[in-house]
Amino acid sequence: MTTALAPHRTPPPPVKVNGLEVIGVEFAETPLSTPAKPVHFKQIVKILLEDGSVVYGCAWAGCGFIGDTAIAVRPHLKAHKPDTEPGKKLDAPDLSTLTVSELLELAWSAQTLRLDLERTTRERERLAKSLTEWKQRAQTAQRRLSSIQKVLAPVT
Ligand SMILES: [Zn+2]
């Protein structure tokens, strides 16, 4: 079974994880969390699936990294940290103010943007290639024309 995404799906689809529909997303609680004083991870979400099972995911838009536990997702978060300048935050998402549906929408639009970018890049490469081809054709035509003119010159 392939997990490749269809490139041209337009309507926001029901978001699925492991083939199961996502019915809820919330920030995962850290091991320090207590009912009296809940503490949540800022970059790890708890994802509730239609069959009642729970998985944990990276909260970065469009990432889609999934783990069985919040702790399993944690090492992956390094992937989003810039290697240099530890003080500088690059596009860290402020997800705390978003609703679940906004969160899912964000993930979806990031995915769409990425596909758009890939398409645009491909298109640009294609155009650049055809431009080169046209230049070559034009040069060839020019050469032919001048050789024909040379041949015809004595006649005219
Ligand atoms: Zn991630």
Cα–ligand 1 centroid distance for 19 (angstroms):
19
Instruction: Label residue 4 by pLDDT band (50, 70, 90).
Output: low
pLDDT at 90: 53
Say if residue 88's pLDDT is above 70: no
Q: 139 or 90: whose pLDDT is higher?
A: 139
Q: Is residue 66 part of a domain?
A: yes
Q: Is residue 106 part of a domain?
A: yes
- CA distance linking residue 153 with residue 146, whole number of Å: 10
Cα–ligand 1 centroid distance for 91 (angstroms):
13
Cα–ligand 1 centroid distance for 63 (angstroms):
5
Cα–ligand 1 centroid distance for 10 (angstroms):
24
Q: Is residue 74 part of a domain?
A: yes
- CA distance linking residue 24 with residue 101, whole number of Å: 9
- CA distance linking residue 32 with residue 43, whole number of Å: 16
How many Cβ atoms from other residues are within 10 Å of residue 110's Cβ?
16
Q: Is residue 142 part of a domain?
A: no
Q: Is residue 94 part of a domain?
A: yes
Q: Please give the residue range of the domain that contains residue 24.
A: 16-81+89-120
Cα–ligand 1 centroid distance for 60 (angstroms):
5
Please report, as a single letter, which amino acid is at residue 110: A
Cα–ligand 1 centroid distance for 66 (angstroms):
8
In the chain the first and final C-alpha atoms are separated, in Å, by 71
- CA distance linking residue 87 with residue 18, whole number of Å: 36
Max CA distance (Å), the chain: 102
What is the rounded average pLDDT for all residues in the chain? 77
Q: Is residue 102 part of a domain?
A: yes
Cross-strand bridge partners of residue 57: 45, 66
Cα–ligand 1 centroid distance for 38 (angstroms):
23
Cα–ligand 1 centroid distance for 78 (angstroms):
8
Say if residue 147's pLDDT is above 50: yes
Q: 């240099």: which residue's tokens?
A: 84
Q: Is residue 38 part of a domain?
A: yes
Please tell me the total count of domains within the chain.
Answer: 1
Q: Is residue 147 part of a domain?
A: no
